[in-house]
Amino acid sequence: MKFKDRVKTFLGDLHDGISCRIEMALKFAQKNLKLVCVCACALVVTVVLLCIFIPKLSRAIDKAISARANSVTVPSAPPDATPTATAIPTPEPPPTPSPEPLLLKKGDTNDIVLDIQQRLMELNYMDYDEPTNFYGPITTDSIKVFQRRNGLEVTGETDMACYSLLMSSAAKVYMASIGDEGTDIKEMQKRLYELDYLKSSALTGYFGEETEAAVREFQKRNHIEVDGMVGTETKELLYSEDAIAFSLYIGSTGDDVKMYQRTLYRLGYLNTEPDGVYGRDTVNAVKRFQERNDIIVDGHIGPTTKTMLLSSSAKYNKLVLTMSGDDVLRVQQRLYELNYLKKSEVTSYYGSVTDLAVRVFQKKNGLSQDGAVGKNTMAKLFSSSPVKASRPVSTDPAYAGQSGSGVNTSGMTPAQKIEVLITVAKSKLGCKYVRGAKGPNTFDCSGFVYWCLKQAGAKSVSYMTSYQWRTTTRYRRISSMSSIKRGDVIVYKMSATAGHVAIALGDGMMIDASSRNGKVVIRTYQTSYWRGCFVCAYRIFE
């Protein structure tokens, strides 16, 4: 076949194929025209619906956002501030609030201080007293000791770490031991020094090996556990009148005892001839000497007492109104011998009748008439040639009515002694509180009561701690708070060994040496705190 014929044949076939394909496509389109129309219609309807509902949906979202924004309090902007768009945060659970930081220091007032003071008392860092909300110097010093004992930074301030430990079961009870340093250590060392267990060079306020050795020796001699540390038992005994000293005390004998007795006799304190035996008469003489020379009254001759006895500034015994004791008895007996007193007026209590008898004696013997038995009066009284009286002053018309209003010849009545007690106690208002101090210008609670009772001439008086006051049988016990009268000694219990004592003034008031106030104060005992701690009271004068 020619090429031309081949081309015609190819083109004819191509035409037939294309025609066939077109015919088939037309047949398919005709057959599926309904489906195409349905799809096109659906597309159109969707577009129309979207155009209608999209604006409505947008407005609904705006309303929801606005409502959420209105439910949240947003700080208002300052008047001159330019408004800015506020981003809407993604909702999250509110965070747990952290506790406010705690920091209490000297001078602060906060109810938390009540709990702090109560806990310090329980752990024996503070002497027991009614707690307050004031963070004063006593609380500050007590916190310092607590921090030192428990390994915290010693600042005297209470932060959260200090407070948490203080209130926890891990808090350590007060215990002074080697390595400690502070005012409490210095006070303890002073007492060990006075008991002759420690040298003056060791009064540093630092608990070193020398102090530890002194504490061990004290514990050994006083028959308590020997551990070299000052805890509750050791501290209680250390400041007690029952403490056994390393120095001269009752039962000691020798030339040194006799030497000190001679001095006491010369100064008018000892009533018996020096014999070299440290007996009860010497103890009483030493106590009076200590009282007159502002030394802790304990009856033994420690370093401070020795130094004062041998010094030129030692005060002579001077007996005055309200005093009592063997030295008063000795003077009264001599006045009786010289006919200035009747036998019934020799009572060992220096009342107004004795005061008048001394004044008359001084007048007749050319002495200054002050009614006190001092150095010159004592010397003349016991000399070989004193002027005697013609009759006792209480029976001499020349002195009628001069023995004191309402005072009988045997001395003061109980009511009058109570007033002397109250007067003496009030004269010490404001005196500083010092743990273990027994006067005359610093006191703890039991030291204050002891000193005041002695000045008022109470019988059978001796130093007792607040713990020992609970069970004494020397005075009549009063079991009801409502039965307390003016002049009674009130006893409180705050723990097994710790407590407080005070003197009742009447009308629900008391006077006491307060640890939390740091001084002698007058205050009410009609509070829930004192009622809860009340043990008993004692009727001293009746």
**For 393, which DSSP code?**
G
Instruction: Tell me how far apart the alpha carbons of residues 510 and 236 are, in angstroms, rounded to a whole number.
Output: 24
We report the CATH number of the domain holding residue 158 as: 1.10.101.10
Structural domain of residue 367, as residue ranges?
A: 326-395
Task: Identify whether residues 386 and 437 lie together within a single domain.
Answer: no
Distance CA 294, CA 252 (A): 24
Residue 355 included in any domain? yes
Buried b or exposed e, range 69-79, using 16+ CB within 10 angstroms: eeeeeeeeeee
Q: Within this chain, do residues 429 and 522 fall inside the same structural domain, yes or no? A: yes
> Which of the listed residues 247, 274, 309 is the one where a domain comes to its end?
309
Are the CB atoms for 177 and 171 separated by under 8 Å?
Answer: no
Going by the DSSP 8-state scheme, the letter that residue 340 receives in this structure is: S
Q: Give a yes or no: residue 354 inside a domain.
A: yes
* Strand positions, DSSP E, 316-462: 432-433, 442-443
Beta strands in 325-383 (DSSP E): none
Strands 442-443 and 534-539: unpaired
**Side chain identity, residue 105:** K
Please report the pLDDT score of residue 207 as a whole number. 92
Q: Report the candidate in 347, 327, 332, 308 with the shortest Cα–Cα distance to residue 265.
A: 327
What residues have CB less than 8 Å from 502, skipping those under 6 apart? 445, 449, 489, 490, 492, 510, 511, 512, 525
Q: Are residues 423 and 513 in the same domain?
A: yes
CATH number of the domain encompassing residue 514: 3.90.1720.10
Total domains in the fold of the chain: 6
CA–CA dist 158, 514 (Å, integer): 22
Question: 387 exposed, middle or buried (CB, 10 Å; 0-12, 13-18, 19+)?
Answer: exposed
Q: What is the C-alpha separation between 167 and 127, in angstroms, rounded?
A: 18
The token duo for 40 is: 């096109």
CA-closest candidate to residue 515, choices 59, 138, 252, 255: 138
| 31 plus 144 within the same structural domain | no
For residue 69, what is the enclosing H or E element?
helix 33-70
The answer, yes or no, to whether the previous bond of 392 is cis (omega within 30 of 0) is no
Q: Confirm if 211 and 197 have CB atoms less than 8 A apart.
A: no
Q: Considering the domain boundaries, does residue 126 fall inside one? A: yes
Residue 173 domain flag: no
- Does residue 500 fall inside a structural domain? yes
Residues in the chain: 542
Supply the DSSP symbol for 484: -
Cβ neighbours for 498, distance < 8 A, ≥ 6 positions apart: 121, 124, 127, 128, 232, 466, 467
Q: Does 520 share its domain with 442?
A: yes
- Tell me 383's DSSP state: S
Encode pLDDT of 71-97 as tens digits. 444 444 455 545 555 556 566 666 555
Give pLDDT tens digits for 322-338. 677 778 888 999 999 99
Evaluate whether residue 317 is within a structural domain.
Answer: no
* Residue type for position 523: R
Do residue 223 and residue 279 come from a single domain? Answer: no
What is the model's pLDDT at position 1?
Answer: 54
Are 358 and 391 members of one domain?
Answer: yes
Which residues of the chain are modeled with pLDDT < 70? 1-101, 241, 322, 400-411, 460
Whether 525 and 479 map to the same domain: the answer is yes
Is 508 found in the same domain as 418? yes
Query: First CA to last CA across the chain, in angstroms?
Result: 167
pLDDT for the residue 409: 27
Please report the pLDDT score of residue 52 as a whole number: 62
Question: In this structure, are 372 and 473 located in the same domain?
Answer: no
Residue 74 lies in a domain: no
Would residue 63 count as lying in a domain?
Answer: no
User: Do both 262 and 233 map to the same domain?
Assistant: no
Q: What pLDDT was estimated at residue 225?
A: 92
Residues 330 and 299 placed together within one structural domain of the fold:
no
